[in-house]
């Protein structure tokens, strides 16, 4: 008999039971599949559940354990993957309707790596079409409809990893893979009350994943704790000959591999809460800062370098996306996307000249140098993910989220790792969240600091009550 | 003006504003080789 809280349990909690034979992966997987059947249409979490594959993988996990083959903490753990990772003989549609018949012949590297660890794929999660790389203004820009937040289905999950956020938040998977070009892991983590890590660019292979923007895309997990994020990240990180942008040097991610948080110097970015900032979210963020300060983290308010990170990231993502999706622009299928401005992105892109793009690349390196100096003075940035809670699904996102994202822009431009941490609630009991951002390849420091925060608070364990 | 065209004009204004910033940003001539090109080695049989 499964415990009722197993749907919201962490890998750390489930794995020992599976390993000891107290919990069978098949039973657990079947339970998740039943919940997907029951709840999926409420949240638009999964685009394509894979029940047969999941039960086959779960049975293998159980039989391997009976044969004393221990593959690690992910063995038998059910997870979900954003529908832009290639999965052998399973449709992978990148959030669009017109690619629903696209069936890859092999797995993305991250899917292979999780399979090698014995993880169980429950299905492919819904996402914003083309991961939002051709732009979108409304939550419904997805073949699956808008991602509906399990905390309040009238509100958005965040995007573009919308289904990954909904699936974990609703207890339909123990963790999920997402991707981020600019914000797409941290945003749904924040709005759905999850812990999510955007690894340093190049730490995790993108081979077999949809390319949205070649020099910006990252792969990372959305989960229930920092510890779970660390476990998943350790399983998927590492050099890959299939992805030449992948870092070849090994990055240590073990607990304690980061720099001692007691010696860290954190930067607090001054924020203007007057433009759509919500007092409840500000109070939640202030409480998180007080918690970190109380633990002994040294923090100082300081402005970010004055560099055009938003312009550079925005322009380069746009140009790279136009190149990546060129075949669909040429053959006209871009007109089948939900966002009615997507077909006009080429027209807008043609305002930008070749020299503009190359200059943006040069400025990007100047920004990297500025941030390298910044991270010689500060070890981490502590800042809210959003100054408001998840907006209603029908709202124009330009109006719902009118404030800038200066830390996100810098992180996108420089490939910085970021960790989203739940931090209480805002309006209507919706999750509030903050982020830690560090220098490239300092992911372990973020995880260690996040671990410390979650050892002192339990916001990451809150979950919605589903009827 | 239709809502679609209004949104197009909004996005166009955003692109033009971005370009103004990019074009005005001072950089030295040449720069530090931010664009890295690597020739691809061709594996040869019999070597």
Average pLDDT rounded to a whole number, residues A179-202: 98
Q: Which two tokens stand for residue A35?
A: 């919940």
Average pLDDT rounded to a whole number, residues A110-138: 98
Angle at A124 between CA A202 and CA A45, to 5 degrees: 110
Surface of A (8-27) touching B: CB under 8 A: none
A234 has a pLDDT exceeding 80? yes
Note the pLDDT of residue B47: 57
Average pLDDT rounded to a whole number, residues B19-41: 85
Note the pLDDT of residue A239: 96
- Catalytic annotation, residues of A: 82, 160, 184
Q: Which two tokens stand for residue A250?
A: 């090994």
CATH code of the domain covering residue A83: 3.90.1300.10
Share of chain A above pLDDT 90, in %: 96
Inter-residue contact A71 to A118 (CB < 8 Å): yes
B36 has a pLDDT exceeding 80? no
A1 has a pLDDT exceeding 70? no
Please determine, for the modelled complex, whether the ipTM score is greater than 0.85: yes
Considering only CB atoms, B35 lies closest to which of A308, A356, A361, namely A361
Instruction: Flag whether A215 is in a domain.
Output: yes
Instruction: Flag whether A29 is in a domain.
Output: yes
- Name the residue range of residue A198's domain: 4-308+359-461
* Separation between Cα atoms, residue A200 and residue A437, nearest integer Å: 10
Note the pLDDT of residue B34: 63
Average pLDDT rounded to a whole number, residues A408-415: 98
Share of chain B above pLDDT 90, in %: 53
Q: Is A352 an 8 Å CB contact of chain B? A: yes
Instruction: Flag whether A62 is in a domain.
Output: yes
Average pLDDT rounded to a whole number, residues A425-441: 97
Instruction: Flag whether A348 is in a domain.
Output: no
For residue A17, what pLDDT band results from cuts at 50, 70 and 90? very high
Note the pLDDT of residue B1: 86
CB contact under 8 A, A356 and B35: no
Beta-carbon count within 10 A of B35 CB: 9
Q: Is A58 exposed, middle or buried (0-12, 13-18, 19+ CB in 10 A)?
A: buried
Inter-residue contact A426 to A278 (CB < 8 Å): yes
Note the pLDDT of residue A257: 93
For residue B37, what pLDDT band results from cuts at 50, 70 and 90? confident
Q: Is A106 exposed, middle or buried (0-12, 13-18, 19+ CB in 10 A)?
A: middle
Give helix A226-236 / helix A443-456 axis angle, nearest 10°.
160
Instruction: Flag whether A410 is in a domain.
Output: yes
For residue B46, what pLDDT band results from cuts at 50, 70 and 90? confident
Considering only CB atoms, A366 lies closest to which of B15, B21, B27, namely B27
Beta-carbon count within 10 A of A120 CB: 29
Question: pTM for this one?
Answer: 0.97
For residue A198, what pLDDT band results from cuts at 50, 70 and 90? very high
Note the pLDDT of residue A344: 97
Instruction: Flag whether A388 is in a domain.
Output: yes
Choose between B34 and A103: higher pLDDT: A103
Choose between A249 and A370: higher pLDDT: A370
Considering only CB atoms, A364 lies closest to which of B12, B21, B34, namely B34
Share of chain A above pLDDT 70, in %: 100
Which one, of A427, A351, A269, A158, lies nearest residue B16 by Cα?
A351
Q: Which two tokens stand for residue A128?
A: 């914003």
How many C-alpha atoms does A402 have within 13 Å on its Cβ side? Answer: 10
Instruction: Flag whether A326 is in a domain.
Output: no
Please confirm whether the linkage preceding A160 is cis (ω < 30° from 0).
yes
* Separation between Cα atoms, residue A417 and residue A61, nearest integer Å: 32
* Separation between Cα atoms, residue A389 and residue A395, nearest integer Å: 13
Q: Is A377 an 8 Å CB contact of chain B? A: no
What's the N-to-C CA distance of chain A in angstroms? Answer: 20
Residue A319: closest C-alpha in chain B: B15
Q: Is A343 an 8 Å CB contact of chain B? A: no
- Mention every residue, 6+ apart, whose C-beta is less than 8 A from residue A378: A265, A266, A267, A300, A302
Which one, of A459, A340, A389, A465, lies nearest residue A156 by Cα?
A389
Task: Name residue A220's beta-bridge partners.
Answer: A178
A99 has a pLDDT exceeding 70? yes
- Report the gap between the CA of A400 and the closest CA in chain B (Å): 16
* Separation between Cα atoms, residue A158 and residue A111, nearest integer Å: 23
Q: Which two tokens stand for residue A286?
A: 């202030």
Which one, of A198, A205, A222, lies nearest residue A381 by Cα?
A198
pLDDT 10s digits, A237-292: 999 999 999 999 888 999 999 888 889 999 999 999 988 899 999 999 999 999 99
Cα-flanking dihedrals φ and ψ of residue A31, to 5°?
-60, -45
Cβ-count burial A131-160 (b if 16+ within 10 Å, e if not)? bbbbbbbbbbbbbbbbbbbbbbbebbbbbb
Map tokens 């699956």 to a residue: A144
Inter-residue contact A346 to A247 (CB < 8 Å): no
Considering only CB atoms, A365 lies closest to which of B8, B11, B32, namely B32
Instruction: Flag whether A467 is in a domain.
Output: no
A293 has a pLDDT exceeding 80? yes
Average pLDDT rounded to a whole number, residues A32-43: 98
Q: Is A287 exposed, middle or buried (0-12, 13-18, 19+ CB in 10 A)?
A: middle
For residue A467, what pLDDT band results from cuts at 50, 70 and 90? confident
Task: Name residue A195's beta-bridge partners.
Answer: A223
* Separation between Cα atoms, residue A82 and residue A42, nearest integer Å: 18
DSSP secondary-structure letter at A146? P
Chain B residues near residue A366 by CB distance under 8 angstroms:
25, 27
Q: Is A363 an 8 Å CB contact of chain B? A: yes
Average pLDDT rounded to a whole number, residues A319-346: 97
Which of B4, B19, B40 to substitute to test the interface with A, most A CBs within 10 Å? B19
pLDDT 10s digits, A143-180: 999 999 999 999 999 999 999 999 999 999 999 999 99
Cα R_g (chain A), whole angstroms: 21
Q: Transcribe A393-454 into DSSP letters.
A: TTS-HHHHS-S--HHHHHHHHHT--EEEEEEEE-GGG-EEEEEEEESTT-HHHHHHHHHHHH
Structural domain count, chain A: 1
CB contact under 8 A, A340 and B4: yes
């Amino acid at each position: 008999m499964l415990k009722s809280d197993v749907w919201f349990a962490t890998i750390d909690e489930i794995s020992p039971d599976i390993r000891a034979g107290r919990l069978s992966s098949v039973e657990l997987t079947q339970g998740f599949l039943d919940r997907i059947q029951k709840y999926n249409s409420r949240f638009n979490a999964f685009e394509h559940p894979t029940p047969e594959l999941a039960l086959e993988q779960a049975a293998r996990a159980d039989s391997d354990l009976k044969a004393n083959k221990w593959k690690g903490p992910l063995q038998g753990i059910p997870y979900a993957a954003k529908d832009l990772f290639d999965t052998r003989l399973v449709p992978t549609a990148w959030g669009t309707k017109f690619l629903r018949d696209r069936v890859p012949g092999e797995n993305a590297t991250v899917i292979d790596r999780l399979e090698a660890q014995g993880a169980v794929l429950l299905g492919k999660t819904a996402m914003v079409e083309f991961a939002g790389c051709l732009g979108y203004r409304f939550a419904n820009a997805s073949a699956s409809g808008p991602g509906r937040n399990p905390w309040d289905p009238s509100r958005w999950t965040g995007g573009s990893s919308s289904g990954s956020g909904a699936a974990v938040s609703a207890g339909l998977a123990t963790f999920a893979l997402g991707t981020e070009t600019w914000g797409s892991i941290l945003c749904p983590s924040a709005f759905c009350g999850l812990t999510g890590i955007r690894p340093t660019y190049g730490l995790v292979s993108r081979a077999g994943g949809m390319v949205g923007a070649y020099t910006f895309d990252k792969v990372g997990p959305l989960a229930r704790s920092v510890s779970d994020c660390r476990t998943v990240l350790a399983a998927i990180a590492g050099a890959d000959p299939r992805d030449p942008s992948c870092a070849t040097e090994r990055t240590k991610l073990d607990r304690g591999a980061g720099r001692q948080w007691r010696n860290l110097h954190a930067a607090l970015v001054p924020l203007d809460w007057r433009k759509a900032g919500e007092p409840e979210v500000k109070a939640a963020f202030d409480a998180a800062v007080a918690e970190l300060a109380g633990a002994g983290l040294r923090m100082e308010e300081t402005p970010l370098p004055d560099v055009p990170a938003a312009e550079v990231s925005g322009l380069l993502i746009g140009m790279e996306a136009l190149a990546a999706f060129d075949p669909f622009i040429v053959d006209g299928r871009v007109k089948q996307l939900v966002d009615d401005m997507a077909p006009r992105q080429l027209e807008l892109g043609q305002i930008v000249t070749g020299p503009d793009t190359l200059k943006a690349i040069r400025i990007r390196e100047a920004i990297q140098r500025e941030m390298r100096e910044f991270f010689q003075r500060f070890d981490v940035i502590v800042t809210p993910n959003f100054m408001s809670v998840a907006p209603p699904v029908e709202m124009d996102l330009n109006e719902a989220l009118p404030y800038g994202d200066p830390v996100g822009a810098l992180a996108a431009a420089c490939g910085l790792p970021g960790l989203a941490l739940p931090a209480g609630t805002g309006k209507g009991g919706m999750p509030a969240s903050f982020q830690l951002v560090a220098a490239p390849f300092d992911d372990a420091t973020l995880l260690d600091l996040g671990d410390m925060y979650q050892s002192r608070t339990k916001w990451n364990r809150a979950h919605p009550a589903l009827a | 003006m239709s809502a679609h065209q209004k949104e197009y004009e909004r996005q166009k204004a955003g692109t033009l504003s971005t370009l103004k910033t990019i074009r005005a940003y001072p950089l030295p001539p040449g720069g530090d080789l931010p664009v890295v090109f690597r020739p691809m080695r061709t594996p040869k049989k019999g070597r």
